Structures are given as structure tokens and as C-alpha cells.
Amino acid sequence: MKRAFPILAVLTALLLAYAFYEAIWVAPMERTMGDVQRIFYYHVPSAWTAFLLFSVNLVASVIYLVRGNAKADAVALVSAEVGVVFCTVVLVTGPIWARPVWGIWWTWDIRLTTTLVLWLIYVSYLVLRKFSDSSQTPKLAAVLAIFGALDVPLVYFSIWFFRTQHPQPVIGGGGSIDPRMLHVLLINWLAFSCFAFLVCWSRYRLELLQREVEEAESLESLSGVSQ
Amino acid sequence: MSSLRSITLATLTKDIRLEWRSRDAINSMLFFSLLVVVIFSFSFDPNAEESREIAGGLIWVAFLFAAVVALNQTWARELRNQVLDAYRVSPAPANALFLAKALGNFILVSVLEAVMAPLFVIFYNLRALGPAWQLIPVALLGTWALVVNGTFFAAMSLRTRSREIMLPLLLFPISIPAVQSMVEATRILLAGDGSARFWIVLLLTYDVVFTTACLALFETILQAE
């Protein structure tokens, strides 16, 4: 497993470079929006990756609550951390695109608001993990993850009642997209997913090592007391 | 089932009696929300038409902040003298304790709303143009939405450092759809444009979903130590 890590790292770097080349030079220019549309190749893959990571977090949290498996908890923590980073990328690139195209930085539209609330929920999840230092933190965090997941559909419905300004999803939403653009989009998504997986993997190893160190330290201090 | 009901009732009457004798929480909440009302009226200078549009938001934000004051001290009383530890080892169902605490907070916040709502009407010259009686289900469902999750998250933040600040950080993101429903329903009923049915149904859904989740997971939270 350890040998696979550098191989995957090199592959991800190549894939990211190729995806960048495709997005900036190869993809056709959008007729009305011009070059600013190219941010789409970063915005959408980041959103998909973030949502994927939050789903991983939910599944890992449920597994932890049912089985009490410490590795599931580490996966939940790592996917939430990396997911928040990708979600931040989505929330930053969105307004950069919206300002020239819509003329406004932000609007309280259904997808924007749901993404923002999702980001807020996961930031509060990370704050809880940071502020709670008992051994029961994983349990509390897993419960909060379930509450957050229950909340997201309700947020969606509450904003669904308002008019939606965000472009329809290009896949499965009735919008149309140039096949060359779709190709570039999917390459970028693949590259971003690989990158997210790589970061999660190394963070996961770090987390397990850190826990081992903490365990060893507390064992050492215990044996010091008994002598 | 009967033990669930009798233990819930016993804990609830104990809490209400304690609150009735000290009146700590209700007095601080009342004064706090009075301050919020006064500060809001300095920040906006609305005429009657505008105030109909924004009053829903002001009222519920004031109640949300005031509710946090009550929610924060829900469990503090049980930490002293290790009452919570005693509860943990007793065979009493955990949900009875949770229901008693949530109902206690519900009564407390409802009393606050009943006292403060007339004050809002006076200060902002409010007159409902829609069916005003629908404000009652909105208030009841909205209050329950705030206190059921608030009571749960207050129990969760017991195990954290600086728990007073932790509760709003956990509660506010999850409460966003509930707060939006309350504010929108109140605005529609005050301004009389259209039907508030969608928002009332959404509030009801929120209440059912999160009451179920709280009852299903409270045992886990109580035993986490």
C-alpha cells in the first residue's frame, strides 16, 4: 500500500497538468461569456468532489455509530476536512464567475444557499471536533453529521420555493453542453477526485499516526505512575 | 410507557418548580429580548408598511437569541452534584429526561413569546393583514423546532470546552430551514400576501424529522462520557 502512494501522487500531478492544459487551451471558448466561463472546469468538479466527500463522511459516521470502528471515525474526520476545503473552492470560484456574468457577486439562489449552509454545517462539525477533547468526541461528531445530513434536504426545499437563478445542472438537468466541454469537465473531475483522494489518504495516515503517538504517550505516563 | 410518562412528568415539574422559585432564566430572557427589540428599533426606522415586511425576521431572531440563554443553562443544574451521572446509572429511560428538558424549555420560551409579542406589536405598529390565527401554529411549531434541537445540542456541548459558545455554533446552522420557515410564514401572514401553508408544512416536517432523530440518538449522547 505504501508503495502505491508515490505512484498515485505522480499520476495525479500528470492528470492535473493535463486537465489544466485541456481547460485553458483545448476547450472551446464559450460564445457569450468568453474566457471567464473556463472557471466552470474548476467550480463544478470541486462541487462534485465536495459532495462526494460529505457523503463519505455521512457513511463513515453511521458505520462508526453502529460498529464503533476507530478507522471509520478517522475516515469521517478526514473527509469532512478535505470536503470543507473543496466546498470553500466552490464558494470562492462561484462569485468570481458570477460577477462578470450575472453582474452580482452573490444571490440567495437554491444551489448557492444550499452549498453555503452545507459548508456552515461542516464548519460547525470541525469546530465541535476541535473544541471537544474527551474520548467521546467521535460519537458526538458522528451524531452531528447525521443531523447535518437530515438538514440538507430541508434547506433545499425551503429555498426551492424561491426563484432559481443558478444555471441548470449540465448533466441530468436538461441543460445542453458542447461534447468537447463535457470531455474537459470530466477530465477535470477525475483529476480533482484523484487529488482529493490523495490528500485524504495522506491526512488519514497522519491521523492514525497521531492517534498511535497519543496512545503511546498516555501508556508511557501511566507506566510512569505505577512505578 | 407509563414509566416514561411519570419520569418525564416528575423531571418536568421539578424543573418548573425550580424555575418558578428562582425565575433566573425567564427574567434574563425577558430582559435580553427587550434589549434586542429596543436595539433593533434604533437600527431600523420603519414605517408601518416596511415593518410588516421585516418584523417577522426581527421577532424570530430576538426569540432565537433569547432561547439560547435558556438552552445553555438546561443541563448546568444537573452537572452540579453529579445528577447526570446518577441518571446515567439509573434504569430510567434516557428519552424521559430529554422530553422533560425539551418540554421545560418549550414552556419557558412560549411564555417569553407570549409576553414579548404584544410589545413587538406596540413598538412596530403591527396589524396583520392575513389570517392572524395562523401565527399560533407557526409560533408553536417554530418554538418546538428551536428547543428540541437546542436541548439536544446543549447536551452535546456539555462535553466541550467553552460550552456556552458551542451551543449557538452547533444550533444555528442546523436551524436555518426552521428559522427561514418561521420568518417567511410570519411575513406572509402580517403582509397578507398569499398562503403560508407551504412554510407551516415545512416546519411540521422539520419538527417530526428532528424530534425523531433526537429521541433516537439521545441515549448515545447521554452515555457518551
Give the model confidence (pLDDT) of B112-155 as tens digits: 999 988 888 888 877 778 788 888 999 999 999 999 999 999 99
Judged by a CB distance cut-off of 8 A, whether residue B225 touches chain A is: yes
What's the whole-number mean pLDDT along residues A5-13? 89
Question: Confidence class of residue B204 from pLDDT cuts 50, 70 and 90?
Answer: very high
What's the whole-number mean pLDDT along residues B173-180? 91
Q: How close is the nearest chain A Cα to the Cα of B21, in Å?
A: 34
- Min mean pLDDT across A69-83, A131-145, A173-187, B71-85 is at A173-187
The half-sphere exposure of B43 on its side-chain side, counting CA atoms within 13 A, is: 9
Using CA atoms, how far apart are residues B147 and B162, in angstroms rounded to an integer? 20
Using CA atoms, how far apart are residues B41 and B58, in angstroms rounded to an integer? 10
Would you call A220 helix, strand, or coil by DSSP?
Answer: helix
Chain CA centroid to CA A37, Å: 22
Do residue A139 and residue B156 have CB atoms under 8 angstroms apart? no
When scoring B151, B156, B214, B221 by the number of chain A Cβ atoms within 10 A, the one with the most, hence best to mutate, is B156
Whole-number mean pLDDT of chain B?
Answer: 87
Distances (CA, A) of B112 to B28, B105, B140, B151, B200: 10, 11, 12, 17, 21
Interface of A with B (CB under 8 A): 65, 117, 120-121, 123-124, 127-128, 131-134, 136-137, 139-140, 143-144, 146-148, 150-151, 154-155, 157-159, 161
Using CA atoms, how far apart are residues B70 and B64, in angstroms rounded to an integer? 10
pLDDT of residue A153: 86
Return the higher-pLDDT residue of A89 and A171. Answer: A89
Q: Whole domain around residue B31: which residue ranges?
A: 2-223
Give strand pairing partners of A132. Answer: B160
Q: In the numeric block, which cell numbers belong to residue B185?
A: 410564514
Q: In the numeric block, which cell numbers belong to residue B87?
A: 441518571
What's the whole-number mean pLDDT along residues B51-79? 85
The ipTM value here is 0.85
* In chain A, where the domains are located: 18-27+39-168+181-221
Instruction: Convert A26-46 to b/e letters by CB count within 10 Å (16 or more is b).
Output: ebeeeeeeeeebbbbbbbbbb
What's the whole-number mean pLDDT along residues A47-52? 92
Q: In the numeric block, which cell numbers belong to residue B222?
A: 447521554
Closest by Cα among A124, A121, A108, A107 to B183: A108
CB pairs under 8 A between A and B: 83
H helix count then E strand count, chain B: 9, 0
Whole-number mean pLDDT of chain A?
Answer: 85
Judged by a CB distance cut-off of 8 A, whether residue B9 touches chain A is: no
What's the whole-number mean pLDDT along residues B214-221? 91
The pLDDT of residue B88 is above 80: yes
Q: Do the beta carbons of residue A150 and residue B206 sit within 8 Å?
A: no
Domains identified in chain B, total number: 1
Q: How far apart are the first and last CA of chain B?
A: 27
Q: Which residue has the cell 435580553?
A: B32
Using CA atoms, how far apart are residues B167 and B154, in angstroms rounded to an integer? 6
Contacts of B209 in chain A (CB under 8 A): 150, 154
Contacts for B132 with CB less than 8 Å, ≥ 6 apart: B189
pLDDT of residue B89: 87
Do residue A133 and residue B161 have CB atoms under 8 angstroms apart? yes
